[in-house]
């Protein structure tokens, strides 16, 4: 099952590249993932060749290192039916396997969430204990926040920071393609 999913999602990802981040990282954690489980996450930090995965963002990790942050875990049964773990279950599942999950910044009713209150900020600098440092450039802000509503398949929406979008646009104008974007596009 794991190889089948990887083949579909990451076809030709490593062609012409020194590093296929996902395959490389999977070798570190594959023994932690039970048969029939699908793990969704984001890899942050650096490639083994010391290039940043996401331009300008090193998340305080030493060059050459990276970490996986899980945001979703699903279980697929023998008939192909997929059911997601709830967010509290994802946190426990990660804790039991010594894996990291994306930081929790806030929990509450949808009616109390105001997207503008959660964009154009540096959450680690604001004192959020689970937030990640971004890097040395103080002009950088967190990419944004995701809002999750649990169900058999969770609804996950992302509020992207306008300052982050401007940063991404400047990089695209300079034709700088970060590894995160490149490998995401190849996997689609």
- Closest CA relative to residue 84, chosen from 152, 2, 37: 152
- pLDDT band of 175, cuts 50, 70, 90: confident
pLDDT at residue 188, rounded to an integer:
45
- Angle between helix 21-29 and 179-187 (nearest 10): 90
- Closest CA relative to residue 85, chosen from 147, 151, 19: 151
More confident residue, 87 or 135: 87
Average pLDDT over every residue of 29-54: 91
**pLDDT tens for residues 89-131?**
999 999 999 999 999 999 999 899 999 999 999 999 999 999 9
pTM: 0.82
Q: 3-class DSSP state for residue 144? A: strand
Q: 3-class DSSP state for residue 20? A: coil
As a whole number of angstroms, the distance between CA 137 and CA 171 comes to 15
- CA distances (Å), origin 17, targets 34, 57, 154, 182: 29, 21, 33, 11
As a whole number of angstroms, the distance between CA 55 and CA 53 comes to 6
Quick one: which H or E segment has residue 80? none
């Amino acid at each position: 099952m794991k190889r089948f999913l990887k083949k579909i999602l990451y076809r030709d990802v490593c062609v012409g590249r020194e590093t296929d981040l996902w395959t490389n990282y999977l070798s570190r954690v594959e023994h932690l993932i039970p048969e029939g489980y699908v793990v969704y996450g984001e890899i942050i930090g650096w490639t083994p060749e010391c290039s940043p995965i996401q331009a300008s963002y090193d998340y305080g990790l030493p060059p050459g290192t990276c970490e996986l942050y899980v945001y979703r875990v699903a279980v697929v049964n023998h008939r192909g039916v997929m059911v997601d773990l709830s967010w509290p279950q994802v946190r426990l599942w990660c804790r039991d396997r010594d894996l990291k999950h994306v930081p929790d910044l806030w929990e509450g009713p949808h009616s109390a969430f105001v997207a503008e209150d959660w964009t154009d900020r540096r959450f680690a600098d604001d004192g959020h204990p689970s937030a990640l440092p971004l890097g040395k450039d103080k002009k950088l802000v967190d990419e944004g926040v995701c809002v999750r509503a649990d169900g058999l398949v969770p609804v996950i929406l992302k509020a992207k920071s306008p300052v982050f979008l401007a940063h991404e646009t400047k990089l695209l104008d300079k034709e700088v393609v970060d590894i995160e974007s490149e490998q995401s596009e190849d996997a689609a």
